[in-house]
Structure 1
C-alpha cells in the first residue's frame, strides 16, 4: 500500500472511532488499540511532512499557541433570540407568525437551549476551515486551532451532505467533566471554577491548544446555514447533519401546535436535571425552511424562532445598601448591594433596581430580606421583599436627588422612567461612557483600546472626548500603567484604522440618544452625510421610515449643541467617514423611493437577502406583510396561497424576479 493511502486509511479509521466514542457513546475498540493506531499515524506523518493535513486526527491533541485571536466578520449574522416565559408569550408569538405567513398550518421543532458558548463552524468541500465565536453577532474571535481539539466536532465530512455550509452550535462542558476538573483543582490547592458555562467559554480563548485538548469540551449542534436548497425543513437538515457525524442531540422533537410545544417544555423542565449538561430553556423554531425565509428577521432576532426560558431559580438575601450608577447618556440606575449569595452557578453581590418607580412599587428598603433571581438566568434582579423579616426601625427609601459623581441635581422628564444627570460634558462617567461606546465593536471597533484604558487616558488628562483619540501619539500613551511599546503602537494603529469605518457605524458611534444601530443605518441611508442629517428640520426627520418624534427631537438637540458641532468638525478634519462612500452611492438609486414592497416565495437569480438589499439600495422599503399600503409584491416560486389571495383582493400588482431586475436595471 502506498504511504499516502496508508495515512488516509488510518485517518478515516480513527475518525470513525472518534465518532463512535464521542458522538454515539459507543466505543468499538479499546483506548489502548486507538492509541497504537494514532501513534502509527503520527510516525507516518512525521516521516512524510508533505502529506500534512490540519484536519488529521493527530491534530486534535493541540500544541499550537495563539497569542492573538483574529476578529472575523460572520458571513451570516448570528442573531440572538427573543425570550418568552409563559404560555401567553408563546401564543402571542404564534399569532404574529400566522399573520405574517397568512396560514395556521405551521409545524415547529423543539430543542433544548444549551448553556455554553455559541460557535460558528465553516466547512468548504467537506473540510472544517474555520471556527468563530458568536462575539456580538456581527463578528467574533477565530478559535479554529482550539476547536480542532474537540473530538465530537468532525474535521472532515465524507457523506453526501451540502458542499459549503456553516454549522451553528454550542460548546459545552458536561457536568461530569466539569466536576472532575474542579476535584483536580481543589486537590492542587486551587480555586474551583464557578460554573460549566463560563469555563467552556474561557477554554476557547486559552492560548495553548494543548491545554484546551485536556479539557472535556463537547459541541452540540443546532443549525445548518447554507444557500443550497437540498432540505425543506430544519428537522430534516439536522437529521442529515447527524448522519454526517455532527453531534445533534436526540432530544429534538417535532410539534404540530403550541400545546405540543408546552408538553415538551413541561417534560424537560423536570427531566433536564437528569441530563449530562446544563440547559436553561427550550428553543422553538418554525420547521419549514421556506416559512423561515418568509418570516425573516427583525433587527435583533429571527421572527421564526423564540426561546422559552425555564422558571428562574430564586434565593433570598439581605439588601445592605443602594448605590447609583451613571450611564453614558446620564441615565441613573439604582443598584442593590447584597449580602453575597449563590444563585444559578455564580455568587451574586449586586442586582439592578431599574428606577425609582420599581423601588417604590416593591417598597424596597435597606436592611430588607429580598428575593433575587436572574432575569433569563443572566442578570440578577430583585423580585420582592420578605416583609416578615423587615427590621422594626426600617424607613422608606429616599431616591437620590443629586448625581453621585458630580453632585448635579437630577432631572426626570415627563413620561421617562429614569432620572438623568444633565451635566453631559462635566460628569466623568458620562464622558468616559461616550468614549467607550464610540470605540466599541459595533461602532468604531478600535483594536488595542478597551474600557479600562479609556478611563486611564481620561484620568491622566490625555482625552476629554472621542475626538481627542485622534490626536494621541505613541509617546503619550507608553508611560501609562501596564502599557508596553507594542501595545501603544497597536492602539494608535487601531485608532488610525478606524478612519475607514463606514458612515453608518460612525453615526452610531456618536452616541446620539435613541439612535441605535438600526436607526443609524436608516438615517445614514436616507441622508447620505452628517451635514444633511444635522441640517434636517423636524418634519424632514419624522418623514424618514420608522423615525418618530422622540428620535427626531434627540437628533435636533444634538445638532443644536455647539460642543457637538465642534466635535463633528474635528472628526471631519481627522478624515473619518462622515458621508456614504462613493462606492456605496454608485449602487444606490431613488427608483423605488416611497414604495413599500413585499417579497414572497423562492428565488433563483438572487437570494432573498440580496433581493431585499436591492430594494433598499434603490430607495424602497421592504415590508413583511401585505396591506393597502403595499406598492407591489415580488413573487418567486411557491408564493403562499393566502398572500396571493390577499394581494388579489386588494388589487396589488404582483411581479416576477425578472420583472424586478429589469425595473432596477
Structure 2
C-alpha cells in the first residue's frame, strides 16, 4: 500500500481491520470509549478515501462491520454521538423546514447554448478587465454543470454546523439534518482547515442509484421519480431525516461562499477543498483562452452519457480571483462566470394515447403515452404536454408523429408535431376525470375545482389541514394520513373528528396511548382561529397572509362564505364586505377589496365556496369545528415604525411577528433601508441585513429587546 500521510497511525481499523469483535458485554466503559474513538477516526478516513480520493482501502463489508460496531458501542454505553459518523442514519423528524439566510448571496449565472454568446462573454470579460488596468492573462477554470440541487454548507472550527438550499439566492431552506446524512459530506474537516468555511455544493442522485431506487418504488406500488434531479430535491426536503438517510444522495463541492483564508483562484479552491475532505469533480480543467473552453465543453458533451451523474452543460469561470473581484457582478449574476449549456436531446415517436393526471394541488396535467423510444440511453414511453394551452399551440392529437426532447436534459416534453393524423388536436376535458367537478382555466393551466371532495386531492388536503401551515395537529403527518386513507377511515378533513381511540389503536404501529393523544389533539382543534382555519382548508391561492387579511376584513367564517356563495336577492344592492351578493362580478369585487387579493385569488375563493363537493364537506366540517371570530381592530401602538426580521425567533414564527407588528399599526418589510427603524435579530441571522443596518444606522434588537419594546408601547 502506498504511503499515505493522512492515514491515522496506530489505528487497528484502518488497514485490513479485524471485524471479529469481542461481545460488548465483555468491555468496560473505558475500553468501549477508546474503541469507539478509534472507529470514528477510521470511518472518517475510509469515507475520505472512498468519496474524495475514489481509492478505498477496505471493502464494503468490512466498512459496514466497522460502522455497525460503532453504533453498537454508542448504544450500549450511551456514548456522546455529536460529530459521530453514526449521525448519518438520521435524526428526529422536523415539523417544517425553517428559512435561513445565506452567509453570502448564492447567485445564478448567465447561460446560453449558443457558441456566439460564449465568445461575447469572453469579449465582455476582456473589455471589463482592460478598463480596470488588469495586466494578467485571462484563463478559464472549466467544470461540468451538475444537474442537481445547489446547497450551502457551513463549517465552524472544522465542524459541520449548517446546510441550506439555494432558495432565492438570499434565503434558503434549512436542510442541516438531511445533509448530515449524506456520506460524502464530512461531519468534520481534515488537515489544517480554516476557522470558518461556507462552501457551495451540488447534491445529486447518481444515475445507477437512481435507476435502482426507482425500480424499488415501482415494485412497491409508488410512482417513480421523473429524473435524478427531482429525486434529489424531493429527498433533501424531507421532514424526516431518516428517509433522507435511506436514499442514495451524493455531493460535489465546487465553490466557496465565505472563508477565513484566501484561495487566489478557482483552481486553488478546487485543489484545497479535497485537502479538507470535501469531494470535488475530477473533470475540471484550466484553459488559456475561450476557444479551448469551447473545446472542453464539446468533450464533456460527448462524454456525458458515460458519466455516473447528470450534467446539462459546463461552467466557465475566470480563474484568477483578483480578476473576478475587478469584474464584480450585476444585480443577478457574476460577470466572471458563464454556463455553456448542452442542447436538449430530441427524438421522434408516435402518440398512442393522452391521459389527464390530477395532481395533489388540483392541477390537471396532460400526459402523452407513446411508442417506446430511446433518448440518450433512456427508454421513454411518456412525455408531459404540460397544459391545455400547449396542446392547442402544438396541435397534438392521438396518433400524431411527434418530436420529443428531455427538457432540462431529463424530463421528456413533446416539442412539435412532425406528422398529424388529420383528426385535430386532443380536446381537453371540461370536467375533472377524478371527481367530475368543473375544470377552471388559470391562464395556460387547468385546475379541478373539486378541492376537498376530489379523491385525487384528498390526501394532500387532509395532510395540509393537519400540517403546521394549517391547524398544526400533532401526530397527523404524511405517514399517518396515508394509513388513515388506506384503512378507509378518512376521506376528507371532516372525517378526522369522527375518529375514535378504538379505530386508531387497531392500526399497525399504533397503541392506545398514541391513539388517545391524536384524538385529544383533534378535540383541541375544534375551535381554531379564523385565519388558521382558512389556511387549513387549502383554498387555492390562499396562504397565511391572505387568510389573515380575509379574517381581519370579514370577521367571521360565515361572512366569508356568504360573500362567496352569493344570494339572489341581496339586501340593499350595495357591495360591502361580509354581505352576501348576487352575481359573480359583485362577489369578485367584494374579495378584491381585501388587501393582497387580486382578480385571480378572488375567483379562486368564490369558485371554492361555490363548488358543490366543497360545500358538502364544509357543511360536515362545521358540525365539528367552530372557527373563532377574528379581532378586526387595528391598534396604533407601533404606528410609523418599520421593522425587518432576520434569523429565527424562539417565541414567534417570522409570520407571527410580522402580523403582530402590522396589527399594532407598524410596518414589516423584507429588506433594510434608510426607512427602517429596527432590525430584529434572531438565531442564524444573515450577515447581509446586519451590514445594511449598520450602513443605514438602523438599531438592532434581540428577541427579548423586541418584546420589551412591544410591552413598553402597549403592543403586547
TM-score bracket, shorter-length normalisation? 0.5 to 0.7
Matching of residue 554 in structure 1 with residue 583 in structure 2: no
Matching of residue 472 in structure 1 with residue 525 in structure 2: no
Counterpart of 2:669 in structure 1 is: 622
TM-superposed CA distance for 1:508, in Å, is 3.7
Contact 1:320 1:337 (C-alpha < 8 Å) held by counterparts: yes
Going from structure 1 to structure 2, the CA distance change for 1:402 and 1:656 (only over 3 Å counts) comes to closer
Going from structure 1 to structure 2, the CA distance change for 1:370 and 1:548 (only over 3 Å counts) comes to same
Contact 2:461 2:493 (C-alpha < 8 Å) held by counterparts: yes
Counterpart of 2:368 in structure 1 is: 336
Counterpart of 2:278 in structure 1 is: 246
Count of residue pairs the alignment pairs up:
575
Contact 2:141 2:317 (C-alpha < 8 Å) held by counterparts: yes
Counterpart of 1:318 in structure 2 is: 350
1:658 aligns with one of 688, 694, 699: 699
**What is the CA–CA distance in structure 2 between the aligned matches of 1:232 and 1:507, rounded to whole Å?**
52
**What is the CA–CA distance in structure 1 between the aligned matches of 2:296 and 2:514, rounded to whole Å?**
51
**What is the CA–CA distance in structure 1 between the aligned matches of 2:550 and 2:605, rounded to whole Å?**
14
Partner deviation per Cα, 1:369-423 (whole Å, 9 max, x = no partner) = 2222333245432111221xx55x7555344355434556x5666x743556666
SS of aligned partner of 2:497: helix
Counterpart of 1:383 in structure 2 is: 415
Contact 1:283 1:308 (C-alpha < 8 Å) held by counterparts: yes
Contact 2:203 2:252 (C-alpha < 8 Å) held by counterparts: yes
1:366 aligns with one of 380, 383, 398: 398
Counterpart of 2:570 in structure 1 is: none
TM-superposed CA distance for 1:360, in Å, is 2.5
SS of aligned partner of 1:567: helix
Partner deviation per Cα, 1:569-590 (whole Å, 9 max, x = no partner) = 957965889979xxxx99x964
Partner deviation per Cα, 1:325-360 (whole Å, 9 max, x = no partner) = 445676544332223445467654433323443223
Contact 1:502 1:577 (C-alpha < 8 Å) held by counterparts: yes
Contact 1:467 1:570 (C-alpha < 8 Å) held by counterparts: yes
Contact 1:319 1:337 (C-alpha < 8 Å) held by counterparts: yes
**What is the CA–CA distance in structure 2 between the aligned matches of 1:327 and 1:179, rounded to whole Å?**
24
**What is the CA–CA distance in structure 2 between the aligned matches of 1:271 and 1:132, rounded to whole Å?**
31
SS of aligned partner of 2:503: helix
Which structure 2 residues correspond to residues 119-130 of structure 1 after superposition, within 5 A?
Answer: 126-127=158-159
Counterpart of 1:70 in structure 2 is: 93
TM-superposed CA distance for 1:656, in Å, is 0.7
Query: Any unmatched runs of 5+ in structure 2?
Result: 1-9, 11-29, 122-130, 133-137, 215-224, 561-576, 579-587, 711-716
**What is the CA–CA distance in structure 2 between the aligned matches of 1:559 and 1:194, rounded to whole Å?**
34
2:48 aligns with one of 19, 36, 57: 19
TM-superposed CA distance for 1:259, in Å, is 12
Contact 1:634 1:655 (C-alpha < 8 Å) held by counterparts: no
Partner deviation per Cα, 1:291-321 (whole Å, 9 max, x = no partner) = 9999799xxxx9x999986433233322112
Counterpart of 1:153 in structure 2 is: 186
Going from structure 1 to structure 2, the CA distance change for 1:496 and 1:296 (only over 3 Å counts) comes to farther
Contact 1:87 1:262 (C-alpha < 8 Å) held by counterparts: no
Query: Any unmatched runs of 5+ in structure 1?
Result: 95-103, 183-192, 645-653
TM-score normalized with structure 1 length: 0.59
2:206 aligns with one of 154, 159, 173: 173
Matching of residue 397 in structure 1 with residue 426 in structure 2: yes
TM-superposed CA distance for 1:455, in Å, is 5.1
TM-score normalized with structure 2 length: 0.55
TM-superposed CA distance for 1:145, in Å, is 8.8
The CA RMSD measured in Å over matched residues stands at 7.1
